[in-house]
Amino acid sequence: MKKRVFSGIQPTGNIHIGNYLGAIRRWVATQAEFESIFCVVDLHAITIPQDPKVLKAKTREVAGLLLAAGIDPEVSTLFVQSHISAHAELAWILNCFIPVGWMRRMTQFKEKSEKQKDEVSTGLFDYPALMAADILLYNTDVVPVGEDQKQHVELTRDVAQRFNSIYGETFRIPEAEIPQTGARIMALDDPTQKMSKSEEDRGGTICLLDSPDEIRAKIMKATTDSLREVRFDEGRPGIYNLLVIYELFTGQPREEIEARFEGKGYADLKRELAEVVIEGLAPLQARYRELTADPAHIDSLLTQGADRIRPIAEKTLSLVKERIGLG
Ligand code: AMP
Ligand code: TRP
């Protein structure tokens, strides 16, 4: 029996190379080895205000990018979260088994709610319950995500264990899979912050659909330090981040990369890195353009994806309801 993989991505902002290197690329690489399910999580997106037209367009865009990156709908299942109502229903039930204290510890909520304070939605606070529902509905074994989602997967394990201990074996306990390198790609303009989708900080973010000129400009402007030597040193976060991106796009060992830039400066690294990233993204961008020529095709793949796996979600949900005494 193949192990089951589940992961999700929000249809908000612009998908960037952090999402790609930390998550999507790994999903593609291992999709055949596992039974893989990937979800565009539109219900998570509405935890912050969204324009309806933009949300719809972004949902299709993100699905198109995943397909362009190499998610094969014949091998993996790709679907949209709101197409399977069991996600929202199980999230409600799990809510009732998650102590508020667990939620209060979530660092992502603390960060995201900082600006909005009390205006922040209850949905944003409750976001991890919905994520737990996503994962637990499909008896997931492995959840490949970037570092920022680790805490949410731990909460998922905790609530699953709690439920199982009250009602007997119901949920499979999933494990997060965080990559050794690339789990946290940092912003180019501020390497102390992770690369993020937010619209304000685009200078620090290389989006998957950026043009070669945009990529060159952002990389050449990347913040480094006043030293010269090109070396993998976590104490120098700017240059380290650029080198990690270089390493992941080229697949070269670190010693080889350091040897290549021996005696050269940061500008040389930046110039070469820009070309490596441009070349690395070119096939994805070309496939994306082909795919989006026929948006109805993407929509139909998403409908088929949801139809294929809905029975698994519904089976888990009925078991849960039966255990609790609902219905
Ligand atoms: P999100 O953009 O929050 O929907 O995230 C989708 C996936 O990308 C999740 O697995 C995140 O952990 C991952 N991710 C987001 N930002 C980064 C980053 N800067 N570096 C590495 N992985 C990331
Ligand atoms: N919360 C994740 C993020 O922002 C997206 C997500 C939603 C997810 N449901 C999931 C990831 C289930 C893994 C498994 O990145």
150-167 and 295-324 helices, crossing angle to 10°: 40
Look at domain 4-178+294-324 and name its CATH class. Answer: alpha beta
Structure token pair of residue 11? 């249809």
Supply φ then ψ for residue 37, to 5 degrees: -130, 125
Decide if pLDDT at 202 tops 90.
Answer: no
What lines the ligand 2 site, CB under 6 Å?
6-10, 41, 44, 131, 134-135, 143, 145, 149, 152
Distance 94 CA to ligand 1 centre (A): 24
Q: 203: pLDDT confidence band, cut at 50, 70 and 90?
A: confident
Distance 77 CA to ligand 2 centre (A): 16
What average pLDDT does the segment 28-52 reach? 97
Q: Do domains 4-178+294-324 and 199-289 have the same CATH topology?
A: no
What is the pLDDT, as a whole number, of residue 327? 83
Q: Identify which ligand lies nearest to the alpha carbon of 109.
A: 2
Which ligand has its closest atom nearest to the C-alpha of 179? 1
- Whether pLDDT at 201 is above 90: no
Mean pLDDT of the region 201-225: 94
Asked if the model's pLDDT at residue 200 lies above 80, the reply is no
Contacts of 283 (CB under 8 A, 6+ apart): none
Instruction: Give 291's contacts (C-beta < 8 A, 6+ positions apart).
Output: 64, 67, 68, 297, 298
- Residue 182 has a pLDDT of 93
Instruction: Report how far ligand 2's centroid is from the alpha carbon of 213 (Å).
Output: 31
Q: Across the chain, how many H-helices and E-strands are there?
A: 14, 5
Output the CA–CA distances (angstroms, integers) from residue 146 to 20, 143, 175, in the order listed.
10, 10, 13
Among the bound ligands, the one closest to the CA of 37: 2
Q: State mean pLDDT over 29-55.
A: 97
Q: Which residues contact 164 (CB under 8 A, 6 or more apart)?
A: 170, 171, 173
CA distances to 102, 192, 319 from 99, rounded to whole Å, are 6, 32, 22
| Mean pLDDT confidence for 103-131 | 91
Contact (CB, 8 A) for 55 and 280:
no
pLDDT tens figures, 131-179: 999 999 999 999 999 999 999 999 999 999 999 999 999 999 999 999 9
Handedness of CA 14, 18, 23, 29 (dihedral sign): positive
Check if the beta carbon of residue 47 is closer than 8 Å to that of residue 123. yes
**116-120, 189-193, 258-262: lowest mean pLDDT where?**
116-120
Mean pLDDT, the chain, rounded, equals 96
The residue count of the chain comes to 327
State whether the beta carbon of 81 lies less than 6 angstroms from ligand 1. no
Residue 306: what pLDDT?
98
User: Which atom from ligand 1 is nearest to the alpha carbon of 148?
Assistant: 12
d(CA 263, CA 249): 22
More confident residue, 85 or 110: 85
Is residue 27 over pLDDT 70? yes
Backbone φ, ψ for residue 63 (5° rounding): -60, -45
Closest-CA residue, ligand 1 atom 8, reads 19
Average pLDDT on 215-228 reads 95
- Ligand 1 pocket, mutate which of 6, 7, 19 (most atoms under 8 A from CB): 19
Report the pLDDT value the prediction gives residue 125, as an integer from 0 to 100. Answer: 95
pLDDT digits (tens, 9 = 90+) for 244-279: 999 999 999 999 999 999 999 999 999 999 999 999
**Under a CB-based contact definition with an 8 Å cutoff, are residues 42 and 51 in contact?**
no
Active site residues per annotation: 112, 194, 197
Q: How many angstroms does the Cα of residue 144 sit away from the middle of ligand 2?
A: 9
pLDDT tens string 87-96: 999 999 999 9
Question: Ligand 2 centroid to 272 CA: how many Å?
Answer: 33
Closest CA to 96 of 47, 132, 124: 132
Is 199-289 a CATH 3.40.50.300 domain? no
How far, in Å, is the centroid of ligand 1 from the Cα of 18? 6
Beta pairing class for 4-9 and 175-177: unpaired
Residue of the CA atom closest to atom 14 of ligand 2: 7
pLDDT at 199: 63
pLDDT for res 165: 98
CB of 19 closer than 6 A to ligand 1? yes
Residue among 226, 93, 218 nearest 160 (CA): 93
What does the pLDDT read at residue 24?
98
Q: pTM above 0.85?
A: yes
How far is residue 29 from each of residues 36, 69, 84, 174, measured CA to CA in Å?
Answer: 11, 10, 26, 20
From CA 100, how far away is CA 199, in angstroms rounded? 31
Q: Residue 311: exposed, middle, or buried by beta-carbon count in 10 A (0-12, 13-18, 19+)?
A: exposed
Its sign, for the CA torsion 303, 29, 27, 285, is negative
> Which ligand 1 atom sits closest to the C-alpha of 195?
19
* Cβ(145) – ligand 1 distance below 6 Å: yes
Distance CA 160, CA 172 (A): 7
% of residues, the chain, pLDDT over 90: 93
Chain CA centroid to CA 173, Å:
20
Domain-wise residue ranges, the chain: 4-178+294-324, 199-289
52: pLDDT strictly greater than 70? yes
Decide whether any atom of ligand 1 lies within 6 Å of the 15 Cβ.
no
